[in-house]
Structure 1
Amino acid sequence: MDPVIVVGAGPVGLALSLALARHAVPSLVLDSTDGNPPPRAARSCVLRPDTAAVLPTLPGLRWRSWRTQRRAQQVDTVDLVPEQAPVHIEQHALERTLRDALAKEKLARVITDSHVDLLEQDANGVTAHTRGPSGTWWRGSYAVGCDGARSMVRKLLGVRFPGRTAVERHAVAALRVRLPWEEGEYDKDGVWEQGSVGSALLHRDPGGVPGEVTARPLPGGRWRLDWLLSPRGDLVTPEEMLERVADTLAVWSEEALKEAAKAVVPANGGPAGAGRRGAGAEDGGGSSGIGPYELVDTGVHTAHQRLARHWRVDRVFLAGDAAHLTGALGVQSVDEGLRDASNLAWKLALTWHHGHGAAAETLLDSYETERRGAMVARLRAVDQALPVVRRGGGLRALLPGGGARAHLGLLTDGHLGRGLLGAPPAYARTPLAPARASVDEVPVGTAPGAPVCDVPVTAADGSQGDLHDWLGGPGGELLVLLVAPGTGVWDSRHWLTAGMMPELASTVAGLPLRATLLVTESYPGAAAHTVLAVRADGHLAAAFPAGRSGALRVCAEAVRGGAHS
């Protein structure tokens, strides 16, 4: 068959092509740029842990904690363990990492300076035309428009893109600076060396002045600072940007000086402040914890809310910003686009490898059902939260406690990937679930359709790792996970021939899609000898008792869009 045509070489298009290659599907990425994204430190993205887990190793920085503060008072601190910490990375660095990974894939090809201006479909595939001196025609089995908010693919399909503009607007500055709460040390040349993790801050009304600023660490001793602006205000001049930076750093410096004064150790029983200073409160600029700064990059980020009416038109799909625009209240648009790619890749792969028919149509239609449904819920949650967070309307009716703590709690959810504003979606009403009563399902700690927990697993060949290591293509379109306490102390060649394993292994080998059998010592909320069927995008298809070969076959048929028994 012809390759899948991916239009657009941003993070979503590149990640989709990489996922297709791992599912043994060839792809052709039509890149309208020269392939060298300009470095922009002020253009960064935050990836949730489960999203980052299926990508190549990223040169980003994980947050150690997230602090919220109002004026000089700390409201809350959320400590983050590595497996729960978001990854903050510049977008050009993310794209470069994905391009480098694609360069090693024989099934992926990126064509630069290729502007798509025509798209045609027939019963067997898609033809795309890229403009140039002579023009070039490209033939593919399917096409996916990952070409951003001004998507040419969406326009060629005639799909409407309704929504709201300028829901939120932020002034953005990237600095190289040492902030008071940052961990690290100076090298022998006096250059500050940042640690491998950092603590982010959301500050409401800094210095008593109404407003909001977030400080999020990046690799290389840099920080991204975002100031909330009025949605439709005037342009931000360079002078105004410098003033914002100076005023914010002055507030944090003053707060650090006050904290340092509290750490003064009285000498000979004298009054506080009369003795020597505590650690980290040296005289001079070091006493504030903020040294000289370098302004690396600036910009203005405007968050829109739009949703394409359709995400599939026959053999052409939309993903990422071509399908939806988000970004208000900390919702991460790149992360949502990468979820589109993860959801679509394995479905295209199944159809590409196993032909067409009613099952394939159900499978491909489920992409729009699941992902568009998830984005409808996300945008609705933002619409409901905006008046609460920005204007205080209806707060006490919606949230217990009220006040600044509740406002900042909602913003924390968006930034950290929690709650309605940030948590990964659960596809509870997916058409790919087994028909009710067709499978004797058992409850586990993950609801059907929700993302599975990342637990240590062992494969049939004895290789070990975490469950997420097998997602995104390496494990196929379905992972079959058996909860079997005690297997960790045995060599796989022993437990593979014991008990129910031979029958389960034989069933997995005979499923109508590429599947991998894995074993784990335990899974949250699951009893021993429970089998979990996990889709390639990490969402739970079903859980049932081991020894039910028929249930596993029914589940596999449902996942591939087939008829339910």
Structure 2
Amino acid sequence: MDPVIIVGAGPAGLALSLALARHEVPTLLLDQSTGPDEERFARTVVLREDTAALAARLAGTGFTRSGTRLAGVRSLRRRQEVAAHTFDEALPAPLHLPQHTLTRALRDALAREPLARLVRGTRLDHLEQDSGGVTAHTSTAGTGGTAAGSGGSTWRGSHLIGCDGPRSTVRKLLDVRFPGRTAVERHAVAAVRCTLPFAGEEILHRNPPWRGGGTEITARPLPGERWRIDWLLPPGGELVTPEALVARVRATLAGWTDGTTPPYDLLDTGVYTVHHRLARRWRAGRVLLAGDAAHLLGALGTPAVDEGLRDVDNLAWKLALVRHGHAAPELLDSYQEERRAVVASRLRAADQSLPILRGGSPLRPLLPGSARGHEALHSDGHLGRGPLGAPPAHLHSPLTPAPPHPRTSADAGVGDLVTDVPVTAEDGSTVRLRDRLGRTALLVVLVAPGTGVWDRRHWMTAGVMPRLAEAVAGLPQPAELLVAETYPGAAAHTVLLVRPDGHLALALSGVDESQLRAAARTVCGADAGTREEAARAAR
């Protein structure tokens, strides 16, 4: 069986290789780099609840110890506190960690995975695709091509996924445009070891009162009393010298303590530029794009790595269904339809918010509740809520089944990410719902109060369970049956159909085999080929 070829071994490429392996799909991962991952504490990632859970499933939970679960977000303006938000069950805490920690954990997991092969020091030169697969031609990184003696190789795969970053070779070979905005924002960044009076909170400080603070500072904690601090730079390409950056560090630390710079260790520094771009197409036949190769974002707290991992979660199960013959190739079109729409929405929200937040919009004085609205625009991306930061939903996806009749009390959550409730598997073990994601095509969850205190041999043969078990066994795609004591908003005997990426697809009142079967077909794109034929006929 030909593998899926993945180009680029950053977080998205590594995660995709591991996610496909969980679906028993072999992968070949081509990476230009040859050396170990560099430790950069000034280059960090923020993972929301769903992407942190995905990374833990793929890499193991150990890597989370090298990160910090943020306690909350505190917003300051000059010397005053504007708002303080505490993370809790309603607003789950994100995980902040160095990117090299995440990458190393994924690499280590990949080294233990027999279905994944990593080839380093390899550069993609060109590719060809036909009805049976994709051929990738590569050269050894640093050589001038694939001529004889230059280290050229040819690789064959069923599909090829470009996870090769902002300057994606795959995207360029496909001649896919990458429009957007260049240099939306620039930031100076430093990682320091220092004691600050914020107890694990993220700090958003606008217009700090000390000289050299600039217009906006963001600070996030890391383990070991480390902090990553970002300063928004003025437009115009200001040169940030080492001396100027150290002066910013000293002034900021003094401003946040008692006016005197406390002892600190400067661990890492840098300057990074935020671009906003979105590829026109994410699929061309058997070749697809993911992560920074497909989109760039990052202003106002919209984390780019987070969205790249969501690309992976969306694509892996669909590609696996196609590879195993459970779905038509047209199912892959829904990857672009769903994920591109989500990222485009975030980019629009950021582009609309930036002029207001940076003081360049004439509409700002006219906005009702402008002070409160201004703070929300500034913090929503960091908090993971609103258009800038809320988890993605796929209510209007072509894979979302029509609402059932009668409607249930749970279908307000259709399209959203599922709540991570405890569930009982068919072998009697109790696990978290998210722990079962990415293993089979579908999850079917019965909400059955009282099952937690019954012996499994009793409730497996009681009530609606025998009918539901038979219905699940008869689905056209692989599925796992789980039981939950409760689920938010769902009455007893509600049946939930959950996609492998954790989105709730359907909520049924009781067992209706025909509706469940039809919904499973829709979720897995069984009608995608029919829709495509109709569209071609219409053209």
Partner of 1:268 in structure 2? none
Post-superposition CA distance 1:470-519 (Å, at most 9, x none): 11x23x12111111111111122221111111111121122122211111
Counterpart among 230, 234, 247 of residue 230 in structure 1? 234
Q: Which amino acid aligns with 1:220?
A: G
Counterpart among 155, 163, 172 of residue 155 in structure 1? 172
Post-superposition CA distance 1:94-140 (Å, at most 9, x none): 00011111122111111111111111101010111110233111111
Q: CA deviation at 1:304?
A: 0.4
Q: Which amino acid aligns with 1:442?
A: T
Post-superposition CA distance 1:284-332 (Å, at most 9, x none): xxxx7x7410100001121101000100000000000000000011110
Identity between Structure 1 and Structure 2 (%): 59
Distance in 1, matches of 2:7 and 2:447, equals 41
Distance in 2, matches of 1:555 and 1:425, equals 21
Q: CA deviation at 1:441?
A: 4.1
Partner of 1:40 in structure 2? 40
RMSD value over aligned CA atoms? 1.8
Q: CA deviation at 1:435?
A: 4.1
Partner of 2:497 in structure 1? 533
State yes or no: 1:71 paired with 2:38. no
Post-superposition CA distance 1:199-241 (Å, at most 9, x none): 1111111126551101100122210000011233222110110
Q: Which amino acid aligns with 1:50?
A: D
8 Å Cα contact 2:498-2:506 kept in structure 1: yes
Alignment of 1:498-537 (within 5 A): 498-537=462-501
State yes or no: 1:491 paired with 2:455. yes
Partner of 1:338 in structure 2? 309
Distance 1:435 1:423, change over 3 A: same
1:370 is paired with a residue whose SS is helix
Counterpart among 472, 477, 481 of residue 445 in structure 2? 481
Post-superposition CA distance 1:42-98 (Å, at most 9, x none): 110101011111222233111111111111111111111378100001111100011
Distance 1:240 1:208, change over 3 A: closer
Q: CA deviation at 1:35?
A: 5.2
Partner of 2:300 in structure 1? 329
Q: CA deviation at 1:406?
A: 3.1
When normalised by structure 2's length, the TM-score is 0.91
Distance 1:25 1:397, change over 3 A: farther
Partner of 1:50 in structure 2? 50
Distance in 1, matches of 2:455 and 2:204, equals 49
Paired residues in the alignment total 509
Alignment of 1:359-370 (within 5 A): 360-370=328-338
Distance in 1, matches of 2:375 and 2:161, equals 37
Q: Which amino acid aligns with 2:68?
A: L
Alignment of 1:98-247 (within 5 A): 98-132=106-140, 133-182=150-199, 198-207=200-209, 211-247=215-251
Distance in 1, matches of 2:302 and 2:467, equals 45
Distance 1:106 1:122, change over 3 A: same
Distance 1:328 1:408, change over 3 A: same
Structure whose alpha-carbon radius of gyration is higher: 1
State yes or no: 1:254 paired with 2:266. no
Distance in 1, matches of 2:125 and 2:457, equals 56
Q: Which amino acid aligns with 1:366?
A: S
Q: Which amino acid aligns with 2:273?
A: T
Which aligned runs of 4 or more in structure 1 are off by greater than 6 angstroms? none
Distance in 1, matches of 2:427 and 2:236, equals 59
2:240 is paired with a residue whose SS is coil
Distance in 1, matches of 2:81 and 2:51, equals 30
Alignment of 1:274-423 (within 5 A): 291-354=262-325, 360-391=328-359, 393=361, 394-395=363-364, 397-398=366-367, 400-403=368-371, 405-423=372-390
Distance in 1, matches of 2:480 and 2:366, equals 48
Distance in 2, matches of 1:452 and 1:138, equals 39
Q: Which amino acid aligns with 2:420?
A: D
Distance in 1, matches of 2:208 and 2:411, equals 41
8 Å Cα contact 1:304-1:327 kept in structure 2: yes
Q: CA deviation at 1:181?
A: 2.6
Counterpart among 431, 436, 453 of residue 398 in structure 2? 431
Partner of 2:425 in structure 1? 459
State yes or no: 1:561 paired with 2:489. no
8 Å Cα contact 2:127-2:135 kept in structure 1: yes
Q: Which amino acid aligns with 1:97?
A: A
Q: Which amino acid aligns with 1:250?
A: A
Partner of 1:285 in structure 2? none
Q: CA deviation at 1:152?
A: 0.3
Distance in 2, matches of 1:119 and 1:242, equals 47
Distance in 1, matches of 2:97 and 2:348, equals 27
Partner of 2:415 in structure 1? 449
Q: CA deviation at 1:446?
A: 4.5
2:391 is paired with a residue whose SS is coil
Q: Which amino acid aligns with 1:160?
A: R
